[in-house]
Amino acid sequence: MSCVVLDSIGPRRDGDVLIGSAMTDKEAFTYAQQNFPDGRFCLVRDWIWVEYDISSVSFTRLRAQGIYPVMLYSSNVVFDGMCRWPEGGFVRTSALTSFREQFIFQTRNTTYILLGDGQQRYVPAEAERTLH
């Protein structure tokens, strides 16, 4: 496993539960407005952390592009600050650029606030082409 984003949490397995923020939807909305006033945020629940198991060469190539081999899928958009997805809709993100505070998942264009518990999923190396 080449991704080091969650190494501090310890060994993970496919299907492991990951803990997001315990904020209510209203609290998360206020938090996002205060911390991301440009509106480039999306509040999500029922999320899946999709991590690609790739070679160290591929990992190095992705890191040189400023991304990690991780995407997020959510089947419950609570609020999208850029009005791309409807409330209750789903979203699949582009690749991760930063993860912090155990619930802030950032891509090049959007900050996703992970609410409630999510799940870990691993994708085999041969599927890494979907990262581009």
The full DSSP string for the chain is: ----TTGGG----TT-EEE-B---HHHHHHHHHHH-TT--EEEEEEEEEEEE---HHHHHHHHHTT--SEEEEEEEEEEETTS-S-TT--EE----SEEETTTEEE-SS-EEEEBSEEEEEEE-GGGGGGG-
pLDDT at residue 27 above 50? yes
Residue 130's pLDDT band (boundaries 50, 70, 90)? low
The token duo for 108 is 């090049």
* Any domain includes 131: no
* Any domain includes 75: yes
* Any domain includes 130: no
* Any domain includes 27: yes
Q: What is the pLDDT of residue 16?
A: 86
Q: What is the pLDDT of residue 73?
A: 97
pLDDT at residue 104 above 50? yes
* Any domain includes 109: yes
Q: What is the pLDDT of residue 2?
A: 41
Number of separate domains in the chain: 1
* Any domain includes 132: no
**Enclosing domain of residue 32:** 7-125
Global pTM value: 0.85
Distance CA 82, CA 90 (A): 14
Distance CA 88, CA 106 (A): 20
Residue listed under structure tokens 């993970």: 12
Q: What pLDDT digit, counting tens, does each position of 53-77 carry?
A: 888 898 899 999 999 999 999 999 9
* Any domain includes 94: yes
Q: In a 10 Å sphere around its CB, with 0-12 CB exposed, 13-18 middle and 19+ buried, how is residue 43 labelled?
A: buried
pLDDT at residue 37 above 90? yes
